[in-house]
Structure 1
Amino acid sequence: MALDAATVATVLAPVLPAPVTVERMAPLTGGASAETWSVDVTDGAGTAHGLIVRRGSGVGGLGLDARMESLVQRAAFDAGVPVARVVATFDGGYVMERLPGEAIPRRVLRGPTAELAGDCAAALRRIHTVGTVPGLPRLPAPEQLALLESLHRSAGAPVPTFELGFRWLRAHLPPPGPVTLVHGDFRMGNFLVEAGRLVAVLDWELAHLGDPMEDVGWLCIQAWRFGGAGEVGGFGSREAFSAAYGLGIDPGRVRFWEVLGSLKWGVICQLQSGAHLRGEVRSVERAAIGRRVAEAELDLLLSLEGKDA
């Protein structure tokens, strides 16, 4: 189904006063796996609405379909997580409110960030206490590791550094622990920030049930610091984040997930660029992401040594 003004108006007809008029549609950049549009509409009562239309899913079997993603986002909203309210769903996508703020990491890091670690930790604490969402997959560490290795093999381009990472991870699998809702992509770039405060957590396509320390480790990997000095997202210290999180952070489990996160980002880069090279999705952005495999290799080696770049 083509995403055009008529389609958007049809999707919104059951939830807004008729007639719904689409005033503007603009594609948004920054997401390499999902199609995202900023849309302005006016309903039959003359009220203007700023909305986001999102459709598509993750890459290589890593992401939820749009219906499941919208259900998770609704559950998070109902639990008080800072997230946009879902307005409507349709075949292959959903519509949410458009919130103010900046998501581009380097712009966020140029502004005030003193409160951001506390805000993100509080949001993550709420996410990890949402509870289960029917139909959401459970992805413990062994299954994630096996899936990641399978996806890497499917790329058809062996990377010796990745092989070293897989070996280390197999030898350091953490014992079973708490299982919670995991955002799966909790990082800079998926935070909407205004005046140094967290407005919303974006992009729930990688949500699943699993180890809550996965989200903490992912936030801490080098790829998501964007030149910032803080070990947590480029903006905060581990100590400040842990204190604000308040549910207890296991450094050993976090390290495992940091190593896996660095490797996972490298494999995702492979998959993104592979889709472009095979002609499945023609995208300059995906082609450019392929060049970041080398960066992921360096980050992986440093994380294996317990070092930061």
Structure 2
Amino acid sequence: MIEEQICAYLRGKLLQARDLKILNFRRHTEGWSWETFSFDARWQEDGRELCQGYVLRKEPARAGVVGAYDTFAQFTVLKALEDTPVAAPRVFWYELAREVLGAPFFVMEKVEGEIPLPWAEGERGPFADAAAQQSIAHQFVQHLAHLHTVDWRAKGLAFLGVPEPGQGAALREIEKWQAQLDRVELTPIPLLRRALLWLREHAPLAPRVSIVHGDYRLGNFIVRDGRIVAILDWELVHLGDPLEDLGWICLRP
């Protein structure tokens, strides 16, 4: 059913396409919140056969693990990064109308490659040797540096919410995560409440404000031929302290 709905949507976007078909349709189950589908579209246009791989990401019916996500924010940030050195997947269309697939969604390119998964036991993947590991690590840090130096004002991304100077970025994140705890806490967790109080009392000063990925880690990028070709999972993207991404990397495997 949803495959037919997506095909009809593409026909409305690819107006010159004839005999459009969807191939290799797959519903992904790796994610913990979004509904994600990948497929190839094949069609005839001006006497030529064309094929393009797509990924469609749809908002979940309910709030995710960390609350509601904003497809428009994610789409807009990815669009803004297209002409930068950041390996962001190219995006094509954003759809707000819920009558199309039941929830807002956007469509981006399908990037071929391998996703190193930190929880896959015995997984070596692109880290077959020390040289490959060092190369990927260097690229991983380089892409993050590129992201943190993008001029978000010039890209029109102030709508993400600009934190107040000083402790503003840290305090806003603390408030966000406290709200999430309030939403999901079934029984009191005193240690977490105490941790939030400590963080509020010791909120660091942000050196500057940048685009923050929010979940920059192993498992959220695609490698092909020894190169990082796409950074994934931008649902937590926001403006804040660039050291937030660095701290998250240090805590994650």
User: Normalization by structure 1: what TM-score?
Assistant: 0.65
Q: What's the offset of the Cα at 1:214?
A: 0.6
The answer as to whether partners of 2:37 and 2:55 remain within 8 angstroms in 1 is yes
Q: Identity, % of aligned pairs? A: 30
Query: Which residue is 1:145 aligned to?
Result: 174
AA at the equivalent of 2:111: L
The answer as to whether partners of 1:22 and 1:41 remain within 8 angstroms in 2 is yes
Specify the SS of the correspondent of 2:159. coil
The answer as to whether partners of 1:53 and 1:94 remain within 8 angstroms in 2 is yes
Aligned: 1:97 with 2:102: no
When residues 59 and 199 of structure 1 are mapped into structure 2, their CA distance, relative to the original with a 3 A threshold, is same
Query: Which residue is 1:285 aligned to?
Result: none
Q: What's the offset of the Cα at 1:134?
A: 4.3
Distance 1:150 1:54 in 2: 25
Cα deviation, 1:57-98, whole Å, max 9, x if unaligned, reads 663665542122111011112222112111222231111111
Distance 1:42 1:32 in 2: 30
The answer as to whether partners of 2:87 and 2:229 remain within 8 angstroms in 1 is yes
Query: Which residue is 2:192 aligned to?
Result: 162
Q: Which runs of 5+ in 2 are unaligned?
A: 97-103, 164-168
Q: What's the offset of the Cα at 1:119?
A: 0.4
Q: Which runs of 5+ in 1 are unaligned?
A: 226-309
Specify the SS of the correspondent of 1:52. strand
Specify the SS of the correspondent of 2:207. coil
When residues 141 and 110 of structure 1 are mapped into structure 2, their CA distance, relative to the original with a 3 A threshold, is same
Query: Which residue is 1:18 aligned to?
Result: 17
When residues 8 and 206 of structure 1 are mapped into structure 2, their CA distance, relative to the original with a 3 A threshold, is farther
Aligned: 1:197 with 2:227: yes
- Correspondence for 2:70 among 49, 53, 65: 65
Q: What's the offset of the Cα at 1:12?
A: 5.3
- Correspondence for 1:49 among 49, 52, 61: 52
Distance 1:168 1:220 in 2: 20
Specify the SS of the correspondent of 1:78. coil
Give RMSD over aligned pairs: 2.3
What is the 5 A alignment of 1:223-262? 224-225=252-253
Distance 1:99 1:176 in 2: 34
Query: Which residue is 1:117 aligned to?
Result: 137
Distance 1:63 1:79 in 2: 28
When residues 37 and 78 of structure 1 are mapped into structure 2, their CA distance, relative to the original with a 3 A threshold, is same
Specify the SS of the correspondent of 1:95. strand
- Correspondence for 2:214 among 184, 191, 208: 184
The answer as to whether partners of 1:15 and 1:88 remain within 8 angstroms in 2 is no
Poorly superposed stretches of 4+, deviation over 6 Å: none
Specify the SS of the correspondent of 2:108. strand
Query: Which residue is 1:5 aligned to?
Result: 4
Q: What's the offset of the Cα at 1:218?
A: 1.0
Distance 2:141 2:15 in 1: 35
The answer as to whether partners of 1:181 and 1:209 remain within 8 angstroms in 2 is yes
Cα deviation, 1:242-261, whole Å, max 9, x if unaligned, reads xxxxxxxxxxxxxxxxxxxx
Aligned: 1:79 with 2:103: no
Cα deviation, 1:198-236, whole Å, max 9, x if unaligned, reads 111001111111001111111111xx31xxxxxxxxxxx
AA at the equivalent of 2:110: R
Distance 2:140 2:11 in 1: 32
Q: How many equivalent residue pairs? A: 222
Query: Which residue is 1:212 aligned to?
Result: 242
Name the structure with the higher strand share.
2
User: Normalization by structure 2: what TM-score?
Assistant: 0.79
